[in-house]
Structures are given as structure tokens and as C-alpha cells.
Structure 1
């Protein structure tokens, strides 16, 4: 039985990772660390340990693995500390806020032999697996160019009444705005589909709508758009925005030699392929409640820990996605 502790118990931890962990037969929730008292802990198992510090949690021999859901600026340092303490790590995206930090995470995973997985969930969705099947069977030919958009209404919630207090909107804690929150998902997913990293060419980024309580723009971009190319010559665009009032949208289109593949072109369709000969394949959206392992993130992590999969499982692609996302903030490093 893999015993897992959480660093951070915000919405992603309580809404996704914890329910999915409690559904796993080979893993158990050991406890958690949060820097301030939880406002609501009714959904936590009564046996969960509340650790007084992150170090206290790492020192507990009962903890086999750690889930990092703290603000972005802590992802790298906490993941590295956990791996050095002999814990496997599932870290929320983005894996870090700089390429240097990301590379250090990969080095630590290799040196310690610990599993390091970054919580990029799009590629674990059924529609992406089906899209990959059609891309690799040759029926669409080579991909020529792509368009991607990851958007939502923004990270505001009831816990933080003032935008300037929301860590997502603070450059120091978040590292970037929609780029590191959303575009990093799109970059990871598109790279997975193409089996190539995205090399940044140019970008635009701005705080178009989000404001502080005093009416000033937030510290990070709420919308960004980038132009990319791959080593084989595929070109495309990827946009991300916190200004989409219809809620979560993640349409990705791949224009191929023999047709066009659309992922999530509308809320009712998960996958649509329009071939050059006029034929069409359509896969309706499947309610998330019917997906076998929820987002699939926790199941994949537990499986990797149990089977001792390559310690860099999903980590190198996540680093490539981080580089693409950082380019949309103007912060790309060499």
C-alpha cells in the first residue's frame, strides 16, 4: 500500500487528487501539510495526519510519496526536497517557474531514483488516446500545422475576495499568468500528439481584463498567444486566456495532409476527423463521471510508483512544455 501525503489542500487537491486517491486500491491518504488552518476539512478521512511543517511531513517514514499542490514558486524546491528525502513525487503543473529549476528536478529524479510525475492530465483523457491512434495509423498523413487554445473564466474563487491576494495573480508566486496555468497544458498535449517539442518563435501577452480591487491590471498576463515550430517543420499557434466566460475550453486542431483532426471542437464533441475524401468520424463527449479513473493523473502516478516506472516519467515532456509556456510570458531561458 502506497501512503501518500499532500502539500497544499486547495481546490485542485480536494476536488481532483484526493477523491481520485481515495478510489485507488493500491494507495492511501496519509496526511497533509498546509501553512494555515483549513477552512473546511470535512471531506478528509478522520485518520489523516495534519503535519506542522513540510519538513515534518518529509521526516515521517509512513509517507511514501508526496503530492505538491502549493503555489508555483514552491513546486521545484518542494519536489526536490521530497525526492532527496526518499519520497516519490506527483507535482502539479507547471513543474517549475524557470528552466533551471525544471532541469534540477530532472537531475534529482535521476540521482535519487524516485518517480517524478507532473500532473498534465489532457493526454490521459480518452479523446487524446483516440486521436493519437488516428494520427499514428497513417490515415491522416503528416501533420502540417496546428491551432490550440486553452481557456477558462479565470482562477478567482470564494476563498480570496481580493484579486491581489490571489497567488495566481502574483508574479512572485505564480511566475506567469495564463501561460503557466493554461498554455503549459496545451504545449504538453500538442507535443504529445506530434511527438515533438514546440520551439517558440514569437508571442503576445497582456492583462486584458483582470484587475485588482483598485482597478489596476494584475501582475501577470491573463491572455497570451504564441507562434511555434517543431524540429520537423510543423508550425502552429497556441493561445491561453482567463477571459473565456463560457468556462473551460480546450479545442486543438491538427491540419494534416489527408484531413483535419479536431479535439473538443464544441462541448458535445470530443473528437472529429474530416477526411479529404469527404468522410467524417465523430466521437461524442463522454461525461467525466464515466471515465474509469477520473482525470487519470492519480491512477497513473500510483501505477508508476508501484511498478517503479522510469523516474523521469512525464517529466522531460513537462520540461519541454514549460519552456514553451515560459516563452509566452517573455521569460524564456536558454
Structure 2
């Protein structure tokens, strides 16, 4: 059964989603909306979408939609999400959930007041290795997970396009852009505990250089850069567990993603995918071997379709992604104050 849907936002991430949706064939995409008419016209032409709009409210009123996919810049996540939910339309909103916790709370309330589903585009939960470790946690393989590490490093890949580097439009830099992904994934693999305190530093050390010493410098836009290119944090949870976070757009380190889980019965890493445990008095390392190949963005939007049809439970709940937003806000506040920040309910 197909879901009648439309896009709000028609930039790069919308195109990526649309390519996956065309392969899965579970949606009927009937319209797209963007404030830039030239862009949305081309998007609709490229993907054979029948109608385009520059007024979101007109699209919501005219199209009798089941769902929308919100693929706008960060500063424009909350308003269209809330408008669609109030109209009873299901929403898949790209990450991060919002610019800040205040916006995220409004989005969550709109979802709670509506019969419609809100999910956030944390597609890393749908990767085969993530699904494998999630099932192992549910099976009790790790016991009580008391510590985890979440690391996402780029050596020198600052997204100079759009407004990623401008705080007023993005809400932050590397932390809110890619840090949100690795924090969300790791919290979920820990069993989604609630954060209660965070200490952190978000800074910019390399992205603003214009001396030619590093790749990916941008002399024309460096003066606009007012966000972080590196962040680190320590988060305490309500169940006594803790989480260490590192993320960067630019740093003198190896590139890559790392999730480590430490439990009293076993532990794990996601790359390489390994479980560390013991059997009969001996340490044992378990390597699951080759997992099926999955395109995680496509898996996420297909799951959203199944949730709408009542065939699956929402895997990325807005209550959980609001906790990610609380951690992001807490790190930025801790950076400013130089102190640990208590996280409110």
C-alpha cells in the first residue's frame, strides 16, 4: 500500500531521499515545496513530481497528504513539522530534531496532541550493525551497560555549502550536524537512558584557517564561521551510566565513527563489529561476519511508511530525539559557562 506524501525542502538531502523512495516504490510523491521556486521546479522535473509550491500552507491545504518529509535547513525544521502535525499529517523530519530544546518541546507537544506520527531522520539506527547490537542488548548479551563512547570524526570536511557554518541558521556546527547522529545511535544502543548532567566543550580550531595549510579551507566564507568544528563531552544518565562524546568536522586524527559499549556481562564495538564477552572462564571475542547490505536512508523512510500503515512501531521516537537535543544544548551551555549543566526533564 502506498503513502501519499510531499517534500518540504528540495535541496540535496531531499534528492537523496527521493532516489531511495523511487527504488522502494512505497510512496506516491505528489508535490514538493520550497521557498526557492527555481530549485523546487527542478526537483519536481528531475523526479517527475506533478506539483510544486512556494507556500507550505497552501500545499498542506490542497494536497490531502498522508505524510510530509521535512528536508529544510535546521532553522526551518520546527515550523513545518508543527504545521503538518496540527493538520493531522505524519512527519519525517531530517536531523537534528530542532535548533534547540525549546523548539523540540513544541514539536513533541504537537505530535502528542495529534494522532499523527513524528519521527526524526536518525538513519544510523537502521544500519545492519546497529540493528544487530540492538538485538544483542535486548537479549541481555551486555548485561548492565554502564559506559559508552560515541565518536564521529572528519579530518577536514567542513560543509561550506548552505548555512551549516552560520549559527543563527544551523544552531551549531559539527556537534549538531554529525554529533547528533552518533549521540542518538549510542543512546539507543544503551537502552535510551535519560541524560541528567553534561560537561563539554565545543570549539573551532581549524575550520577558520585560510593560510593554505589544510585542505577544505574557504577564504571567502571563513569570516562567517561562528560554529564549532570540534566538540567533546561527558554525559551522566539517570540510571548511573555515562557517555563520552567526541565529534569533529576538522581535526588531526583518524577519520571514522566509533561506538563502544561497556556492560557488566559483555561489551561491543560497531566498527569493527565485535562483541567482547567471556565463556567458561575465558575471554571471547565474537565477530558476527558479513551482514546484509542496507541503504539506511531508504530503510528509515520505508520504516516510516510502515509505521503510518500500522505495520511497525516508530523506532525513532521524538521523546528520545528530544533527549539528544538536551545533550546538544547542554554541551553548548557548558562551553559558555565552563561548568557542568543539569538537564531538566
Q: Distance in 2 between matches of 1:275 and 1:309?
A: 32
Matched, 1:167 2:172: no
Q: Distance in 1 between matches of 2:229 and 2:283?
A: 39
Matched, 1:304 2:307: yes
Q: How does 1:33-72 map to 2 (within 5 A)?
A: 33-36=33-36, 37-38=38-39, 41=43, 44-72=46-74
Query: CA 1:106/1:42 → structure 2, altered by over 3 Å: closer, same or farther?
Result: closer
* TM-score (normalizing by structure 1): 0.86
Unpaired runs of at least 5, structure 1: 161-165
Deviations 1:190-209 (A, max 9, x none): 22111212333200110121
Query: CA 1:185/1:199 → structure 2, altered by over 3 Å: closer, same or farther?
Result: farther
Which residue does the alignment assign to 1:199?
A: 196
Q: Distance in 1 between matches of 2:63 and 2:22?
A: 20
Q: Distance in 2 between matches of 1:92 and 1:190?
A: 18
Deviation at 1:245, TM superposition (A): 8.3
Deviation at 1:69, TM superposition (A): 1.0
Q: How does 1:132-143 map to 2 (within 5 A)?
A: 132-143=134-145
Query: CA 1:43/1:208 → structure 2, altered by over 3 Å: closer, same or farther?
Result: farther
Q: Distance in 2 between matches of 1:262 and 1:309?
A: 28
Q: How does 1:160-309 map to 2 (within 5 A)?
A: 160=161, 166-195=162-191, 196-211=193-208, 213=219, 215-216=222-223, 218-243=225-250, 249-264=256-271, 269=272, 271-276=273-278, 277-284=282-289, 286=291, 290-291=293-294, 295-307=298-310
SS in 1 for 2:46: coil
Query: CA 1:63/1:258 → structure 2, altered by over 3 Å: closer, same or farther?
Result: closer
Deviations 1:66-108 (A, max 9, x none): 1111111111111001112232111011111121211111111
SS in 2 for 1:318: helix
Q: Distance in 2 between matches of 1:219 and 1:294?
A: 29
Deviation at 1:43, TM superposition (A): 7.4
Q: Is the 8 A contact 1:106 1:312 kept in 2?
A: no
Deviations 1:278-299 (A, max 9, x none): 2211135658xx3177541101
Q: Distance in 1 between matches of 2:269 and 2:131?
A: 13
Which has the larger displacement, 134-143 or 303-312?
Answer: 303-312
Deviation at 1:137, TM superposition (A): 2.7
Query: CA 1:44/1:227 → structure 2, altered by over 3 Å: closer, same or farther?
Result: same
Aligned residue-pair number: 319
Query: CA 1:120/1:312 → structure 2, altered by over 3 Å: closer, same or farther?
Result: closer
Q: Is the 8 A contact 1:179 1:326 kept in 2?
A: no
Q: Is the 8 A contact 2:165 2:226 kept in 1?
A: yes
Q: Distance in 1 between matches of 2:32 and 2:63?
A: 14
Which residue does the alignment assign to 1:317?
A: 320
Query: CA 1:26/1:44 → structure 2, altered by over 3 Å: closer, same or farther?
Result: same
Q: Distance in 2 between matches of 1:208 and 1:168?
A: 16
Which residue does the alignment assign to 1:22?
A: 22
SS in 2 for 1:203: strand
Which has the larger displacement, 312-321 or 229-238?
Answer: 312-321
Deviation at 1:41, TM superposition (A): 3.8
Q: Is the 8 A contact 1:146 1:255 kept in 2?
A: yes
* TM-score (normalizing by structure 2): 0.83
Query: CA 1:87/1:308 → structure 2, altered by over 3 Å: closer, same or farther?
Result: farther
CA RMSD for the aligned pairs?
Answer: 2.7
SS in 1 for 2:60: helix
SS in 2 for 1:149: strand
Which has the larger displacement, 130-139 or 116-125?
Answer: 130-139
